[in-house]
A = this chain, B = another copy of it.
């Protein structure tokens, strides 16, 4: 693997602010009245996300869409005036996806938060894009079904679709790629397109559903999302297992996956990160490298899986599993895990996290992780480290002072080397966070120019005026 051809964005992205004409804003105000705001705090709130970027000007206005028609009318106006538009769910993206680097407006779909059709018999549900994953699970809790994708934050289903999100359950239940069945999407010209059906599989033409999933708002704005649901497992058990070394923990996972054990969740938490979590979440987890696991199935099946994995863990010096058998105990564990980002940030007041998201073929996971740990240690970089290790995906959060150019550069250099390492191992720079601004250079390194050129050609074909979240994923030319 050669060094990346294009440097990653290391500080402020290049701003290329487009004009937002006064008569456009007037037309928007005339159409939307108090569904539109140009107030400073509303704009500021929509001009940020969980990324490490700072000092980006906020959007010129925010429209609060309440219907597909609202979205269509907004896009029609933006298209006519050539004004950028950035769809906004709950603001939890972490690679700069929501930042108005070319100006324009934010299109907030959080009021489009109705669960439209629960088809429990078919294991499908259709929701508006502003429905969050927790809201969805609450709405279907009496059906015996659940929606498994859990990217930490209580993200919106629209945002999760747009970034092809996953989380801790993906090792068994797949990512948004596997779980989105159909979409209603408003295209750049305001036209409403439907993709996919509620059938479980289809060979009907180009897979527009999966083209839109992961397109980060650059090809259309989703207004309805139909996702697959899964039967709640008859039995669930969660276990913790500590290991003396990172390699032991990771090897346990590698063997588990290679043997085809249908483990539902298997998360790695590095020892020091466990301490950060304890401090933040008031938990009392032993500060050692650990795997946090969950088994789903029939009572006998769960027992069998757990015994298999315990045997593998013991071969790799893991201790006896500690069990969390009550739903409350499990919720506490997983919520502690999901708060890692905030635990990390809290450990260094004022810090931002430069997050990494590499994902590699499982056989290379231990090497990729350990080399990256050694690199961070060698450079005295404070970090937290967790991983959806069953998928070969892990996250460093390099904790930096966002106003220190030196710290920013150090973290970006570590990230840069980590991504090069992952790509050299046939992996990807992003398992689940998306490209946004932060990984645009990496995308070229990973996919190569012909693929990025194909993406550009598709973008131009569907959004000829370049109004949909421009300046993200790849440069326009």
> CB within 8 Å of B: which residues of A?
119, 121-124, 163-166, 170, 174-175, 177-178, 187, 191-195, 197-208, 210-211, 213-215, 219, 230-231, 233, 254, 257-260, 262, 298, 300-301, 304, 357, 359-364, 391-393, 422-423, 426-435, 439, 442-443, 446-448, 450-452, 454-455, 457-458, 460-462, 473-474
Residues of B with C-beta under 8 A to A205: 214, 435, 443, 447, 451-452, 455, 473-474
- Rounded to whole Å, the gap between the CB of A305 and the closest CB of chain B is 9
A432/B203 in contact, CB under 8 A: yes
Q: In the complex, which of the residues B258, B391, B447 contacts A201, with contact meaning CB atoms closer than 8 Å?
A: B391
A204 and B439 in contact (CB under 8 A), knowing A258-B231, A461-B460?
yes
Residue on B nearest A226 in the bound complex, by CB: B426
Q: Specify which of B165, B199, B452 is in contact with A361 (CB 8 Å cutoff).
A: B199
Name the distance in Å between A452's Cβ and chain B's nearest Cβ: 7
A211: shortest Cβ distance to chain B, in Å? 5
Give the distance in Å from the alpha carbon of A473 to the alpha carbon of B203 in the complex. Answer: 10
For residue A203, which residues in chain B have a CB less than 8 angstroms away from its CB?
A: 163-165, 214, 357, 428, 430-435
Are B361 and A124 in contact, CB atoms less than 8 angstroms apart? Answer: yes
Contact A198 B426 (CB under 8 A): yes
Using known A-B contacts A191-B450, A207-B214, A300-B300, determine if residue A359 contacts B458 with beta carbons closer than 8 Å.
Answer: no
Which single member of B195, B199, B363 contacts A426 (CB below 8 Å)?
B199
Once the chains bind, are B300 and A432 in contact (CB under 8 Å)?
no
How distant is the Cα of A174 from the Cα of B179 in the complex, in angstroms?
Answer: 12
Chain B residues whose CB sits within 8 angstroms of the CB of A429 once the complex forms: 204
B197 in contact with A426 (CB, 8 Å): yes
| Cross-chain contact of A199 among B195, B259, B428 (Cβ < 8 A) | B428
User: CA A170 – CA B211 in complex, angstroms?
Assistant: 22
Cβ A121 vs Cβ B197 within 8 A: no
- Most chain B CB within 10 A, of A187, A202, A254, A391, is at A202
Asked if A194 contacts B362 (CB within 8 A), the reply is no
The reply to whether B204 and A231 contact each other, CB–CB distance below 8 Å, is no
